Structure 1
């Protein structure tokens, strides 16, 4: 708001305009005036008043039409309009409030009451602007905190991985005369480098935005491909026993295949890793599908996939931050962005990811995705397959 709040007074009677102008200016309120509806609309566009005092009964364009035109403009519809009218009936007041007015003053005008009402609505305007400013500052703070968390996580993980790379390079140099040792250390080196590549690609997926092409694909094919990708990634680890309960065998989903499958693989991998590193036997994961009704009128039905495990559950220490970058309960370096990327990707497709406790122990990941063309268009990332855990 400017140094002085600004009120537009609109009345076809000059004497009323002058009385209101003097009363408001006495209270250090800036006043601009118009004697008809057309001039009032011109002043609104040029001066952007904080509150409008608007006479209802005017020739050519009455106050009702002026208010309707103000409400039709996204810029002016938020300006509080106080009607001034000789009508005191309930029906007349309701008619004015129905077109967007926020208050009513009846003639003959009580100047003290009018000034008090104007001051009240000016306070509302100020409070609303302060709330919007506070909301903007809060969003900026959250954005800054998120950038800080990502930056700190990047530095920590990349520094650790670069230390690993340098360590294996030193081992290769020291064992240059032992081919088997060189090959083994080279394999470890390659794994560490692949971890660095994964981090860079995941970061790219969070910042590079472009329109995502979508095509209808069979749901059972998308799930089968995701399960196969996970099993291929785990070929040197303990097997995952995945039970797929999919009654939607004929269902097609309009999606981007890589985004869908990569997000689902990340959630399956999260379920697999929830069992910890010391479990010798198979790790059981149950995948269930269903169609959920639209949550909003302008959206269609949603595919819901539940990924259930009976692992260690959600660590209470990271429960509130589990979707933040580089949040992980594992000690392995180079991890902690899978859930962040999965949620980001699905939200840009009009879906989401949530985690909740499994009543029988463990965790349930809730994967949602529009059945038809995604509501939002978002990022497309060339994501790599998950690499085996580095030890």
Structure 2
């Protein structure tokens, strides 16, 4: 019966009264107001009807034969299937003790006969509206709990994935470190014996043998450089301790000292003025600047290299620019140059391992910044990167 309710129906109301006239009157009044009433004449029928098709409200008379309204209400409230159904008593009994007993059994309200039609309808309207809101709130709460559960599951899955990724990265870094470290010993042996052979055949007439030996020595030296760069890359990890204020002028002084021979040999000029203090790791920043300056000198044109380092403050970070007058980079390779082992030139043209800029990118990202390049072929190159300021 409840399932056949139309959209216009405002609620299904079960009427319980042993007087057919009372049932007909209430049914007519409720039907006119858009409700769906159903009348039964005793408590047993009321309990059966409530279980088969749960009403939105029960109007229950007290004085009935066999099972009165109190016992009917008590049985409804003791059954899990019907205990939540609101019950309003309608009775000619007007004693306070009767009302107290009714409310004690879980009744929602108590209306005394004879009643005013408008008052009864107003109470019914109010209680059904309230019940509707309660149902909506309950449904929304269920949906909210489901959403919370889904989000928690997603967060747990993401946390698990991050843990697995961190573990995988740690294992990969450890593998790279161990592998690179273990390769150094046999490679050093090969290099040593190749150099001994080179010395042995130095004054011999077998130029082809000398050439082969030189190939071996050069290849071993390149492999040693590659392993050292790979070890440097694998050691770069998020800092376990807090970064500290670092004076970039002292960083550049260290870099200049490390590259003094290269700078002198290439007659390079490095220009910078009053560099700021940033938040970071000094050894990593030395490596960052040293890689960028070394590249600027290496990829030079015929004229002596000139490198300008400038910086400007942007909110809580500094934007650095390292500009050179070298051979430049084709813009189509801007993304590629920061990838590990990516080279734009052969080892015979320019020495290197293809890891230097990948190390620069990782250092900048570990410092919460970003790095990019602007360049044109034969017009020089400018590398930009950001680092947090000391006031951050």
TM-score by length of 2: 0.47
TM-score by length of 1: 0.48
Higher relative contact order (CA 8 A, sep 6+): 1
